[in-house]
């Protein structure tokens, strides 16, 4: 089992309620705060304060190895009994990167197939390449995660990304 969902900040409450999500990953630029739906226990909510950038910029927080390590530790503890919801502000870059990283860490599916599935489910998905690069190194993927995201290219322009989800078992079955 195990269902992974991705959405923008504006849809967190409704997606959590309709899906029964019990775990949540929030990726927002500090000092932004995201309310935690009441259905999600505090210990099942990971908040990563990082900006949607791929290179250091004054006044912003560039993703670091500690962010990726926290994400990997959190998703590896996910029991998969109820959905895991991942969101950032728009549901386009940081959240799709975190979803890609999660799927690479938790399945045996090749990176290219995972990236293509994300593109199929979300035409606007543009996973943050810096975040992906950090995870590529942490997971010892030798550049395959970066290459997979580069292969799908930039997603279509939008204000907010599509809400999408997939079952890990279904992803593994089709690979």
**Which structural domain range is residue 95 located in?**
3-174
* Residues 6+ away with beta carbon under 8 Å from 53: 60, 62, 130
* Residues 6+ away with beta carbon under 8 Å from 40: 16, 21, 22, 23, 24, 85
What's the CATH number where 133 sits?
3.90.190.10
Task: Return d(Cα 27, Cα 33) in angstroms, integer.
Answer: 10
**Pure H helices in the chain:** 12-19, 65-77, 94-106, 111-121, 129-138, 144-152, 168-174
In three-state secondary structure terms, 139 is coil
Which residues are 73's β-sheet partners? none
The reported pLDDT for the residue numbered 56 is 86
The reported pLDDT for the residue numbered 60 is 82
pLDDT, averaged per 10 consecutive residues of the chain (175 residues), comes to: 94 96 95 86 95 84 90 97 96 97 96 97 97 97 98 92 93 82
Provide the number of structural domains found in the chain: 1
Burial 93-129 (b: 16+ CB within 10 A, else e): bbbbbbbbbbbbbbbebebbbbbebbbebbebbbbbb
């Amino acid at each position: 089992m195990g269902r992974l969902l991705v959405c923008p900040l504006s849809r967190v409450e409704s997606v959590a309620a309709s899906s029964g999500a019990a775990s949540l990953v929030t990726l927002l630029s500090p000092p932004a705060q995201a309310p935690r739906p009441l259905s999600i226990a505090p210990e099942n909510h990971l908040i990563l304060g990082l900006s949607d950038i791929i290179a250091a910029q004054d006044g912003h927080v560039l993703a670091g190895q500690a962010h990726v390590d926290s994400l990997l530790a959190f998703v590896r503890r996910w029991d998969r009994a109820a959905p895991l919801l991942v969101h950032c502000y728009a549901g386009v870059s940081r959240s799709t990167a975190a979803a890609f990283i999660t799927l690479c860490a938790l399945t045996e599916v090749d990176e290219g197939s995972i990236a293509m599935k994300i593109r199929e489910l979300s035409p606007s998905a543009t996973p943050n390449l810096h975040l992906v690069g950090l995870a590529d190194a942490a997971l010892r993927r030798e550049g395959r995660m970066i290459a997979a995201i580069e292969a799908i290219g930039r997603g279509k322009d939008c204000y907010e990304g599509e809400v999408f989800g997939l079952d890990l078992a279904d992803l593994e079955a089709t690979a």
